[in-house]
Structure 1
Amino acid sequence: MLTARLHKVQWLSPQGLHQLAYREWGDPDNPHVLLCVHGLTRSSADFDAMAQDLGKDLRVVAADMPGRGASDWLPDPALYAVSTYVSACVALVARLNPEVLDWFGTSMGGLIGMGYACLPNNPIRKLILNDVGPTLNFNALQRIGEYVGKPVQFQTLDEARNYIRTISQPFGPHTESQWSALTDSVLVQKDQYWIPHYDPAIGQAFQNLSESTTLMHEAALWAAYDAIKADTLVVRGEHSDLLNHLTVENMRQRGPKARVVEVQGVGHAPTFVQNEQIHLVRDFLL
């Protein structure tokens, strides 16, 4: 079994210096790096199962985005944005210094990957977008906004686990041990209560969300997608409410002309802890 090594790298935002935490599996001298970035309220621990497999051949790195996990919280909620996260990841990639860089991004992590991969002279060779694309379903964003950043606390770990499991039902069927890993990795104990691991301020972006602002973001995202040169794979959960079939078909025909795979029995988003999902990544990258 591969052991994750926890590191931190310093990066610069408009409001100063911060620490970005990341986990690393596999040979630290392997020049081929797979950088994994989690969804909105998740953490780098989400990728342990995938790293146990791929870490035999790749140097697998997963970062806690700012405001999550072991990374610093940011002083201004407005900084919790894709452009900020891209800046943090640029600093991380400079630290890693890979000869070959591939990217796996779930939901928000995919949007960050698009923001990075559209930049001139970016180093990304292959890009995997897990259940996300340039078109964002407003109703799905409203669903996410109903729970993210809300002040919740639980007296027992079991109560907290049940809460995370309830809001994570779109992940699809998992074993009890898989659910334990998916819930425990995003919970911390504070003042005798169990709470989510992230800065509640990451939810402020959803407070003023409207259909018109969502459409404005989509226009920018499509421009970014069309500029991507990396070989791209899009993975869609069969029952996803965030990534629809029309968007997937457009992604197949525009920009990098992505390959598309649909995971059955899953909504938003596939967790890539099951072997058949992990093998999709292995087959695409190796």
Structure 2
Amino acid sequence: MREGAVRWLSPAGFFTLRWWDWGPVDGAPVVCVHGLTRSGRDFDALAAALAAQGRRVICPDLPGRGASDWLPDPMLYQPPVYIAALSHLLARFDGPVDWVGTSLGGICGMGIAATPGNPIRRLVLNDVGAFVPQAAMARIRDYVGTEPVFRDIPTLEAHLRVVHAPFGHLSDAEWRHLAETSARPADGGVALHYDPAIAAPIRAMEAQALDMQALWERVRVPVLLIRGAESDLLLRETAAAMAAAPNVELAEIAGAGHAPALMDPAQVALVADFLAQ
């Protein structure tokens, strides 16, 4: 695993986007983008497997997360700004890329794949789709940015096991990995590795359903749509409607909600097989 960085231009100036880079540098690139409060290290298991198959895998930390710069204006923490940052990363590649996006990372992927001249060849949407119900948006609004400072890594891990139980069954080693890669020093303890201000745009408006159907209708590339069987964010009827399109393959993950962790060997193989086509 290597580290990479690019300076990108936002409405507030230039900032640094950092990423985790796996596999041969001349391999066909796969970009993996995480969910709202997570980081690129969530994809370590998937990235290692794809790298072993000769793919170059780039796992960025979105602005305000992980090793990437925090932004001075909380209202910049919105998908159009994330897409601008990610576009600077995509400009580093001369040719097509595959995209794996979990939740927010999938929204960014849809936004890019819906744009004329985009470089996305195949798109994996992990538990996010054309419609997010109001109840799910309210749940997100109520928890983001509210986590305390934790005494130590085991205490943070215990918290993650509760709030991210919908990730599905994970081993003790996998939970520990998530905890260790989610932590930053704070006030004598550890905090989650994101800027709490990412919640500001969500809290600035009344929780309402997010309808991205118009965006989704412009996506023409092959899509693997993954749904956690117990997901409250990607409803079964939304997934079924999306899967009616000829370019969409739907896979439902039993025992998971929002969102499958993509660490289980079967889930890794599902993604790898789709991207190998």
The reply to whether residue 125 of structure 1 matches residue 121 of structure 2 is yes
Shift of 1:285: 0.9
> In the alignment, what sits opposite 1:154?
150
- Residue aligned with 2:132, SS: coil
Tell me what 1:265 maps to.
255
Q: Distance in 1 between matches of 2:105 and 2:222?
A: 17
SS of the residue aligned with 1:202?
helix
* In 2: Cα distance, 1:244 partner to 1:278 partner: 22
1:246-257 equivalences under 5 Å are 246-254=237-245, 257=247
State whether structure 2 residue 229 is matched by structure 1 residue 229.
no
| Cα displacement (A) at 1:117 | 0.6
The size of the alignment, in residue pairs, is 275
Alignment partner, residue 171 of structure 1: 167
Separation in 2, partners of 1:54, 1:28: 13
SS in 1 for 2:143: coil
In the other structure, the counterpart of 2:67 is 70
Could you tell me the TM-score, scaled by structure 1's length? 0.93
Residue 261 of structure 1 and its aligned partner are, at CA, apart by 0.4
Amino acid at match of 2:249: R
User: Which deviates more from structure 2 when the two are superposed, residues 147-156 or residues 160-169?
Assistant: 147-156
Aligned partner of 1:51: which letter? A
Deviation at 1:29, TM superposition (A): 1.8
* Alpha-carbon distance in 2 for matches of 1:182, 1:138: 28
2:228 is matched by which residue type in structure 1?
G
Moved beyond 6 Å, runs of 4+: none
Identical residues among aligned pairs (%): 41
In structure 1, the partner of 2:269 is: 279
Please state how far the C-alpha of 1:205 moved relative to its aligned partner. Answer: 2.3
Tell me which moved more, 36-45 or 49-58: 49-58
Decide whether the 8 Å contact of 1:19 with 1:72 is kept in 2. yes
**1:278 positional shift:** 0.3
Match status 1:191 vs 2:182: no
- Structure 1: where are the runs of 5+ without partners? none
1:162-194 per-position Cα deviation (integer Å, ceiling 9, x unaligned): 112211111111110011112221111123111
Superposed CA deviations along residues 69-89 of structure 1, whole A, max 9, x for unmatched, are 000001111110111111111
1:242 aligns with 2:239: no
* Post-superposition offset of 1:134: 1.5
Structure-2-length-normalised TM-score:
0.96
